[in-house]
Each structure stands twice: as C-alpha cells, then as structure tokens.
Amino acid sequence: MAEPLIACQEVHYTYLRGTPMEAPALRGVSLQIARGECVAILGPTGSGKSTLIQHFNGLLRPTAGRVLVAGQDLWAPRADRRAARRLVGLVFQFPEYQLFAETVEQDVAFGPRNLGWAPEAVAEAVDEALRLVGLAPERFAGRSPFALSGGEMRRVALAGVLAMRPAVLVLDEPTAGLDGQGRHEIRRILRDVHRRGQTVVLVTHHMDDVAELAQRVVVLRDGTVALAGAVGEVFAREDALRQLGLDLPVAARVTRRLRALGVPVADALTLQDARRAIRTALRGTGRGDP
Ligand code: ADP
C-alpha cells in the first residue's frame, strides 16, 4: 500500500484527564486512510467517532499513540500542523451554524483568504466550490446565507471547506437533520468530490450514505475498532452490526427480506442495485417486464 494519507497508531484520548470527571473516549484506535478512498466511520453514540476525526487534523492531541498525516507525525517536536490542517478539511456537525458573513461569497472566501491566497485565486476557488455544491454563483454569491433553506446553508458551509481544496474531506454527520432531497444533494456532492480524486471520510448514522458512498467501513465501539472492512464484508455481518445497534441499508433489508420469502433475489446495498436485482429475479420467475 502506498503511504497512507492518515494513519492512527494506537491512539488513546481521555477528556478532562486528571480530574474526577475523566472520560476515556478512545482506547487504542489504529487505522489507515489511503489517498483516494471513501471511508465511513460508524458506531453508536458515544463510541468516539467525533473525538477520532478531530485527531485527523490535530485539533485534539492524543493522550497516547501517534497520528500521521502524509507520513508526518502531527505531534513530533517540529511538526508542521498548519500544513496538515491544509491537507485535512474538517466539516463539523451542523456546519451551517458557523456561517457568519453577509454574503455567500464572503463566507466561502473566508478560508482561502485566511490561507493568504491572491484575490484572483480566492475568487476562482469560491466560484469552483459553489458550482461543486450546486449553488450557481450568479444566483447565490451575493445573497445572505441566512436567507437560504437549511439544505442550501449546509451546502454553503461545505463549499467554505471545499474552497480550500483539502486533499481529504472529513465530515461529521453530513446529512443529519436534512430531508430526503437534502440528503440526496449532499450525497451527490460527496460522490463528485470523491470522483475528482479527493479522499472522503464521513461519520454517519445513515446506512444509505454508507452504501451509496463508501468503499470501506470502520465501526467503533467504546473507543475501539469493533469491526472494519470493505462495505460488502461489513454489511454481511448483520448480527454483529445489530449487536452494535446498527442497521442495514434499506436496499439490503428489502432484498434479504424478499429472499426469506422465497424470491431468488441477489443481495444489494444501493437502491439502484436492488431495483436491478428485483427486476432480474422477476424476469426469472416470468413476472418481470420484458
Ligand atoms: P460519538 O461521536 O461516537 O458520539 P464522541 O467522540 O462524541 O462519540 O464521544 C466519545 C466519549 O467521549 C463519550 O463518552 C462522550 O461522553 C465523551 N466526550 C465527548 N466530548 C466530551 C467533552 N467535551 N468532555 C468530556 N467528555 C466528552
């Protein structure tokens, strides 16, 4: 394997260490994220997902263990954590709460300006990021972010991170609180970002996000890695997932239920695959469309 973009080696993290409220959140997490991957991080509430991803760009310092970004130990004596922060773009939960500027353009430009880019480069990055999130600059650049819908505000916040062109985009629950259409939009954007060659890491409770986007899954439980592997492998471990309080994607639930009812339908993870599998199965039974 080429040098991983992010590597965690036996990472431990304890909140409020040395106080009576001490709370161990990570207890020896090791994982690697390769360049160009899309990895989903799953696990029950409180399992350490948010704490883990804040280690990816040095927002949190491990109590023990190491975090390497592009081969550099983030906490080595002369580590360049600013450079690592440029490589790793972190999108927090409900990032729209952090919008603050008068116009969409100013909000999205904030990050690139802070990086010291020339005005033309900032303008180009803002334009590109707005297009990537499906907000045509001609229509949206001059508007107040606070006059937009919830889904649009989330996309502006996402554009603000994308505009800095991070090598890896790390998102905490990017589709939380959105309706079906909003979730669909965010998934489309993340798929496009990934197709452009950027690495994507997402924390999510939505198994359909995982099925639609991720190639690999890491499941946390009580601050340790409980399960990890390719998406198909992990979703094949239905009992283990249920014990962790995790469900299967809708498509897998439907196809497995049909099979239990005697319909010889192949397993599917995405709705598109489920549709195809059901059509094929019906054709086999002579009930499908020609
Ligand atoms: P997840 O993202 O999987 O829900 P978190 O990383 O938020 O999990 O939390 C992991 C553990 O750390 C939980 O037990 C949580 O209560 C604790 N924790 C998280 N943030 C803090 C904090 N700021 N102070 C103290 N404990 C915290």
Query: For a pocket test of ligand 1, which of 19, 42, 50 has the largest count of ligand atoms closer than 8 A to its C-beta?
Result: 50
Mean pLDDT taken over the chain: 93
Q: For residue 156, which amino acid is it?
A: V
Q: What is the DSSP string of 63-77?
A: SEEEEEETTEETTST
The answer, yes or no, to whether residue 194 has pLDDT greater than 90, is yes
Residue with CA nearest ligand 1 atom 6 = 48
The answer, yes or no, to whether residue 286 has pLDDT greater than 80, is no
Share of the chain above pLDDT 90, in %: 80
The answer, yes or no, to whether residue 134 has pLDDT greater than 80, is yes
- In 3D space, the residue among 164, 165, 182, 162 whose CA is nearest the CA of residue 173 turns out to be 182
The answer, yes or no, to whether residue 164 has pLDDT greater than 80, is yes
Q: Which residue has the higher pLDDT, 201 or 273?
A: 201
| CA 143 – ligand 1 centroid, Å | 36
pLDDT at 285: 64
Residue with CA nearest ligand 1 atom 5 = 48
The answer, yes or no, to whether residue 195 has pLDDT greater than 90, is yes
pLDDT at 284: 76
The answer, yes or no, to whether residue 115 has pLDDT greater than 80, is yes
Ligand 1 pocket, CB under 6 A: 15-16, 23, 25, 43, 45-51
| CA 25 – ligand 1 centroid, Å | 6
| CA 156 – ligand 1 centroid, Å | 27
| CA 91 – ligand 1 centroid, Å | 17
The answer, yes or no, to whether residue 2 has pLDDT greater than 80, is no
Share of the chain above pLDDT 70, in %: 98
Ligand 1 atom nearest to 21, measured from its CA: 25
The answer, yes or no, to whether residue 169 has pLDDT greater than 70, is yes
| CA 48 – ligand 1 centroid, Å | 6
Query: For a pocket test of ligand 1, which of 15, 27, 205 has the largest count of ligand atoms closer than 8 A to its C-beta?
Result: 15
Ligand 1 atom nearest to 23, measured from its CA: 26
268: left (phi over 0), alpha (psi -120 to 50) or beta: beta
- In 3D space, the residue among 268, 191, 198 whose CA is nearest the CA of residue 235 turns out to be 268
For 5-43, the pLDDT digits (tens) are 999 999 999 999 999 999 999 999 999 999 999 999 999
The answer, yes or no, to whether residue 290 has pLDDT greater than 80, is no
d(CA 177, CA 160): 20
pLDDT at 42: 96
For 74-104, the pLDDT digits (tens) are 999 999 999 998 999 999 999 999 999 999 9
| CA 14 – ligand 1 centroid, Å | 9
pLDDT at 271: 85
d(CA 83, CA 220): 28
Average pLDDT over residues 56-76: 96
pLDDT at 266: 87
Q: Which tokens belong to 10?
A: 């036996």
- In 3D space, the residue among 251, 253, 256 whose CA is nearest the CA of residue 274 turns out to be 251
Place 222 in a pLDDT band, splitting at 50, 70 and 90: very high
Q: Which tokens belong to 265?
A: 């339908």
| CA 169 – ligand 1 centroid, Å | 21
Q: Which residue has the higher pLDDT, 279 or 126?
A: 126
Residue with CA nearest ligand 1 atom 11 = 25
